[in-house]
Structure 1
Amino acid sequence: MKTSVQIDSAKPILVTGGSGYVASWIVKQLLDAGYNVRTTVRNKSNTAKYEHLLDIAKESKGKLEVFEADLMKEGTFLEAMKGCELLFHTASPFKIAGFKSAQKELVDPALQGTRNVLLSANITPSLKRIVLTASVATIYGDAIESQNTPNGTFTDRDWNETSSLSHQPYSYSKTVAEKEAWKMEREQDQWELVTVHPGFVLGPSLTPRTDSTSIDFMISFLNGKYKTGVPDFTFGFVDVRDVAKVHVAAGMTPSAKGRYIAVSESKTALEVAQILREKYNGNYPIPTKVVPRPLLYIVGPMMGFKWKFLKRNLGYPIKFDNSPSINHLGIQYIPLKQTIEDHAEQIINEGLLKK
C-alpha cells in the first residue's frame, strides 16, 4: 500500500450520511475550510433532515452538493463518488436498544452498507483514501477486558473479541463491519483505509434531531431519571467537534494510516454528574451517588441492562491511548468539562428537558 496519500484540495470530498450528529460537524469543518463537499442522504425530498447543512453551506467558503443514496442498495453511491479522491464513510445504524432482530437491524445494515460503499469505491478510479467511522466498540467489548491490558489501557492494536449477536450486538455489528472494511482494503491496491474510533460522543449538535443516545444521556442527568443514583460505569468520552477534527485530519494528513482512537478523557457516570452539579447547583435533580450494586441487579433488567452486561461492566475503570491522534494528527482535545457544559446548555436553551 502507499505510504503517503496526497489529496487534491480542488477535488470534491464525499461524506456519507451527512445529516448525522458526527457527520454534520465533518461537513461543517470541511465547508468552513473551503472544500467542495458532497453528502448523501437516504431521501433527498425530505429536506428537513439536512436543511441545517444547506444553512451551514450558505455561511461558509465551501460548496455543498446533496445526493440520494441508500446503504442497502448496491451502486447508489457511485454518482456521488465520481471524481472524489477522499471519502468519509460515516453512515451506519446506531441502536443500542429497541430492536427486534440484531442481525436484520444492526449487523446486516452495518456490514452490507460498508460493503456497498467500498464496492463502489473499487470502481471509482479517482478514489485514494477512505476514512471509516468505527468506534471504541470495535476495540473492546466490556470494561472487564481492561483488566487484561497493559496499564488497563486500550490501544489501536486491540480488537473486540467478546461481543456477539446476543451480547452487545451493536458493538458486534461495528466490529464485523470494520473487519470487512480492512479485508476489502487488502484485496485491492487503489485506495487505502484509515479508521476513526470515537468513544462516547457528547457536545453540541448541529442537527435538529432530538432522538440521539448522546442527547438522551445528558437529558437523563438533568431531568431526574437518575436522581436516586447512577450505575458505576466508566466511559471514554469525546467532544463531537473533536471527532470531526480527527476525521478531517485522518483524511488530509498524507502519512495517516491505520486506526485512531478519538477519546479525550475517561470518567465515571458519577464524575459527569459532578461536573453538572458544579455548573447547575440546585437547579436540576442531578444524581449525587452511585446505585448500590445489589439494587442494580434487581432494577437493572427493567432499565434495559442484562445481568451479563452489568457483571462485565460495573465498577471496572477503562482508559484509552489517544496519543497517535495527538502526535500524528495534531489533535488538541477539548476538556470534557467544557464539552459537558456546552452540551447541557444547548439542551436547556432548546427546551429539550420540557419535551
Structure 2
Amino acid sequence: MNKTILVTGGTGYIGSWVVKMLLEKGYTVRMTVRNKNKKEKYAYLSDIADKSDGKLEIWEADLLTEGSFNKAAKGADAIIHMASPFTLRFKDAQKDLIDPAVNGTRNVLEAANQSGTVKKVVLTSSVAAVHGDNVDMKEQGLDEFTEEHFNTSSSLEHQPYSYSKVKAEKEAWKIHDAQNDWQLVVINPSFVLGPALAKSSDSESLSFMKDMLTGKYHMGAPELMFGFVDVRDVAQAHLLALENDNASGRHILSERTAGVFDAAQIIKSKFGSKYKLPVMKSPKMMLYLVGWMFGLTTKFIKRNVGHPIKLNTTKSKQELGLKYTPLDKTIEDMVLQMQQDNILA
C-alpha cells in the first residue's frame, strides 16, 4: 500500500483518527498544517507514524490562500478534505465560518484539478448539510432524512454553522461536476462523540461532554435530539470511502438518534453518581427563559427543542460496509479518555 493521500484537517478531532488509520495501513500521508514549526500540534501523530508502516509528511497550506494546496496535491493519489471550522463560538459568521468552509473547499478541490494525479476526493461534510432544524422533517412532510435531502432552513443569521456546511458541500459538488479527472465521495456525520487522540482539543464534541460532566445541565437537559456517531466510525468511513471503487455520493453517519438526557443516562449507567448529571429534561418554557446562557436563540429553541428526528443510514452500512460502535461504548470510552487525560480537572 504505497499510495499517497493528501489530508487536510489531520490534527483535528476526526482528522487525527483518519491519519492514524491511514498510517497503520501503510499509506504515505501528506498532512497540511498552517505552520510546520508548531510541532507540538502534531507530535503525537509523528509518534504514531514512527510505530506504523506508513509515512507522515508535513506540508504547509492555508485554507484561505488560493493555490496553497497545489504543491501538496501534485503526485497525490487522493485527497481527504476535513479542514473546516467546527465552532459555535464566533464573532463574524461570514468571516469565521462561511469563508473558510467554502473558500477552503474551493482551494483544495482546485488543487485536485491542477494535480494531474488525484483520482478521488473524500470530503467531510455533515448531517447539518442534510437538514438544518429538527422541525424541517415535519415541515417537509418526511418520515426521515436521507442523502437526497439538502438543508434549506439555515442561513447566515440562523444556524450559520449548518449553513457553512451546506454551502461548502454544494460548492464541492459544483466543482466536481465541472471535471472528469476525480470522483467525489461525501461523508455526512451526525454529532460525533468518542475518545480524542490529542490531549488538548477545542472540539465542540469535547466541550459538550465536558459541560455534561461538570454540571452545566444539572438542573435540566434540553430536549434536543441528535444523531450520534463514534469518531472512530467516522474515520473508518473515510477509509472505506477511499478504498471502495463503488462508493459514490453522500453518506449519512449515525448509530442512533437520541436526546441529551439519554446521553446523560448512559453516563450514569457506567459511572454512577460520580458526575453532576442532569436530573431531568428541561421544560421548553424554561429554556425560553435561560436559553441565552447556553447560547440558544428563541428561534433555535422553537424549531429544535422537543422535535424528533430520524436519519436513514442504510447507505453507509450497505455501500461502505460500515459497522457502528454502540453509543454506550462510545460515551464510556470518551469519558474514560477525558479522565485519563485530566480534561475534567
* Shorter-chain TM-score range: over 0.9
Q: Distance in 2 between matches of 1:150 and 1:330?
A: 30
Distance 1:209 1:35 in 2: 26
CA deviation digits over 1:270-294, x for unaligned, max 9? 1000001111112111112011111
Instruction: Tell whether 2:125 aligns with 1:134.
Output: yes
Contact 2:136 2:153 in 1 (8 A): no
Match of 2:208 in 1: 217
Q: Deviations over 1:219-258 (max 9, x none)?
A: 1111111111110000100000000011111111001100
Q: 1:293 to 1:171 in 2, by over 3 A?
A: same
- Amino acid aligned to 2:24: D
**Which residue of 2 is the match for residue 4 of structure 1?**
none
2:299 aligned with 1:308, yes or no?
A: yes
The reply on whether 1:231 has 2:219 as its aligned counterpart is no
- 2:270 pairs with 1:292: no
> Is 1:27–2:19 an aligned residue pair?
yes
Please say which of residues 240-249 and 32-41 is displaced more in the overlay: 32-41
1:175 aligns with 2:171: no
Tell me, yes or no, if the aligned pair for 2:2 and 2:26 is still in contact at 8 Å. Answer: no
SS of 1:127's partner is coil
Residue pair 2:13, 2:201 contacting (<8 A) in 1 also: no
Cα deviations by residue, 1:95-129 (Å, 9 ceiling, x for unpaired): 212x2211111111111111111111111111111
Equivalent residues of 1:195, 1:258 under 8 A apart:
yes
Aligned residue among 96, 117, 121 for 2:112? 121
Give the match's secondary structure for 1:320.
coil
User: Deviation of residue 151 (structure 1)?
Assistant: 6.0
CA contact (8 A) 2:82 2:124 kept: yes
Give 1:351's aligned residue.
342
For the 8 Å contact 1:140–1:158, the answer to whether it is kept is: yes
Shift of 1:149: 5.7
The answer (yes or no) to whether the contact 1:274–1:288 under 8 Å persists in 2 is no
Look up the match of 2:310.
319
Is contact 2:192–2:231 with CA below 8 Å preserved after alignment?
A: yes
Match of 1:267 among 250, 258, 262: 258
In structure 2, the residue corresponding to 1:131 is in which secondary structure?
Answer: strand
Matches of 2:137 and 2:230 in 1, distance apart?
Answer: 23
Task: Verify the 8 A CA contact 2:87 2:203 in the aligned structure 1.
Answer: no
Would you say 1:75 and 2:67 are equivalent positions?
yes
Measured after TM superposition, the shift of residue 26 of structure 1 is 0.6
| Corresponding residue SS for 1:334 | coil
Other-structure match for 1:6: none
Q: Could you say which residue in structure 1 is the equivalent of 2:328?
A: 337
Distance in 2 of aligned mates of 1:262 and 1:38 = 26
Q: Does structure 1 residue 90 correspond to structure 2 residue 82?
A: yes
- Given residue 315 of structure 2, which amino acid in structure 1 is its aligned partner? P
Separation (CA, whole Å) in 2 of partners of 1:246 and 1:213: 20
Choose the corresponding residue for 2:56, options 52, 64, 80: 64
The whole-number CA distance in structure 2 between the counterparts of 1:193 and 1:252 is 13
**Letter aligned with residue 62 of structure 1:** G
RMSD: 1.1
Rounded Cα–Cα distance in structure 2 between residues aligned with 1:257 and 1:248: 13
Aligned to 2:150: 159
* 1:153 partner SS: coil
Query: Which residue is 1:5 aligned to?
Result: none
Which amino acid in structure 2 is aligned with residue 245 of structure 1? Answer: Q
Q: How many residues align?
A: 345
Query: Unaligned 5+ residue runs, structure 1?
Result: 1-8
In the alignment, which residue of structure 1 is the partner of 2:245? 254
How many angstroms apart in 2 are the aligned matches of 1:222 and 1:348? 11
CA distance in 2, matches of 1:348, 1:150: 43
Question: What is the distance in 2 between the residues matched to 1:234 and 1:176?
Answer: 24
Q: What's the offset of the Cα at 1:148?
A: 4.4
| Whole-angstrom distance in 2 between the partners of 1:202 and 1:135 | 14
Corresponding residue for 1:188? 179
**Residue in structure 2 matched with residue 37 of structure 1 by the alignment:** 29
Gaps of 5+ in 2: none
User: Do the aligned partners of 2:284 and 2:306 also contact (CA within 8 Å) in 1?
Assistant: no
